[in-house]
Amino acid sequence: MNNLQNDNQSVFVLVPSYNENEVLRDVVSMLVEKKYSVVVIDDGSTIRQSLYLKNLPVHYIRHKLNLGQGAALQTGTNFALSKGATYIVHFDADGQHSAKDVATLLHPLEDDTIDIVFGSRFLVPTLSGYIPIQKKILLFFGRYINYIFSGLLLSDAHNGLRAMTSKASTKIILTENRMAHASEILFLVKKNRLRFTEVSVSISYTDYSKSKGQPVWNSIRIFFDLILHKLFE
Amino acid sequence: MTGIQIILISGILVAAFVFFIRRRNNIADLLVFTTLVGTAITFILFPEWTNIIAHKLGVGRGADLVFYLCILLFVFVSLKLYARLRRLEQMITDVIRKEAIAEADKLENE
């Protein structure tokens, strides 16, 4: 048990938070319980997110301005690497992921045959539960657009839950500050020939995460960010 | 001189005035700008000259030629500005990131 705890401490879970407020505390407590090192990146929220994290043993970093989730994850990665992380996990702050899934995600990395693991809600159909129809259509297109841009066909285009080794994370340097970072990760996986796999994770669409989630038109913006990214590479 | 010529020429002269009084330009910029202003004023005074060039390039009217060139210029300028915007965003990101991490380290070491 003691051994497991030490192991978990070198797993750095990055939780970018932009105005998640109360929900953030639940998400973080769930991760702290599993003894992971949690890094909350407050991406310039209106209310300092540290107010919601009182007495929780977490690392807290605050961006002075709102830069976007991609930028927050990169800041978290730099920080985690400086603290000697062995594994880095991306975890959304809106409560749609489950802390149990982190262990599943880490498992393929442990024998050093895989560099990065993507969470997917579609590998086991029963797990995905109810997914709103527009969301389904968007994810369907997102999947193929990512494929066209990156050459990698994943079953779940924009799942926020991923884990990678520290070595892989030094190669995945995100320059897309906003949501296009999810696709940028795929470009970098391809470019650096990282070994990847997908594992099944659960997603819960609470009313909260639905209201916070990406509005549909946002995907159009992601699409243009991608085109411009390719143009200005 | 027609009304539109007066409007266009005074517009260009105002732009030139603003450009010159800023005095932060190097010689190359100054030369390019002076040439541009010169060409613009020439073609405003003698619009039929654009027709001659347009015909040589296979475009019907001088005004159309100017329009096409403006589209090209617009695309070029947009791309340049966008590239600069991206560089700027990257710089801001780097600054905010460094500061955020330094701040976090400071808090934890206290």
pLDDT tens-digit map of B84-107: 998 999 999 999 999 999 999 888
> Which domain covers residue A122, as residue numbers?
2-231
Nearest CB to A59 within list B90, B99, B108: B108
CB contacts of B100 in chain A (<8 Å) are 41, 61-64, 75
Q: How many domains does chain A fold into? A: 1
**Which helix (H) or strand (E) is B66 found in, with range?**
helix B62-109
Task: State the CB neighbour count (10 A cutoff) for residue A69.
Answer: 25
- Strand order across the beta sheet in which A116-120 lies: A59-63, A37-43, A11-17, A87-90, A162-165, A116-120, A196-200
Give me the interface pTM, i.e. the ipTM. Answer: 0.85
Q: In a mutagenesis test of the B interface, which of A39, A56, A67, A82 is the best target, namely the one with the most B β-carbons within 10 Å?
A: A67
**CB atoms < 10 A from the CB of B80, how many?**
10
The residues near A6 (Cβ < 8 Å, ≥ 6 apart) are none
Q: With 60 as the cut, is the pLDDT of residue B36 above it?
A: yes
Average pLDDT over residues B11-21: 89
Convert the pLDDT of each residue in B42-97 to its tens digit. 999 998 898 899 999 998 888 899 899 999 999 999 989 988 998 999 999 999 99
Residue A132 burial (CB count, 10 A): 12
Angle at the Cα of A122 from the Cα atoms of A120 and A128, rounded to 5 degrees: 100
Q: Which of residues 26-65 of B touch A (CB under 8 A)?
A: none
Please give the pLDDT value at position B91: 95
* B92/A74 CB distance under 8 A: no
Contact A75 B97 (CB under 8 A): yes
Report phi then psi at A196, rounded to 5.
-130, 160
Tokens of B89: 């965003």
**C-alpha span between A3 and A26 (Å, rounded):** 26
Helix then strand count (H, E) for chain B reads 4, 0
pLDDT score, position A1: 41
Q: In chain A, which residue ranges form alpha helices assigned H by DSSP?
A: 2-9, 22-33, 69-82, 100-106, 125-128, 133-150, 166-171, 181-191, 207-212, 218-231
Taken as a whole, chain A contains a residue count of 233
Our CA-based measurement puts residue B97 at a distance from the nearest CA of chain A, in whole angstroms, of 6
- Per-residue pLDDT 10s for chain A (233 aa) are 444 555 788 999 999 999 998 899 999 999 999 999 999 999 999 999 999 999 999 999 999 999 999 999 999 999 999 999 999 999 999 888 999 999 999 999 998 899 999 999 888 766 556 677 777 788 788 888 888 888 888 888 778 999 999 999 999 999 988 888 988 999 999 999 999 999 999 888 777 766 665 666 777 888 888 888 888 76
B65 vs chain A: nearest CA distance in angstroms?
28
Domain CATH number, residue A156: 3.90.550.10
Max distance between CA atoms of chain B, in angstroms, equals 76
Q: Is A16 helix (H, G, I), strand (E, B) or coil?
A: strand
User: What pLDDT, on the 0 to 100 scale, is given for residue B67?
Assistant: 93
Beta A162-165 vs A116-120: how paired, if at all?
A: antiparallel
Q: Which helix (H) or strand (E) holds B106?
A: helix B62-109
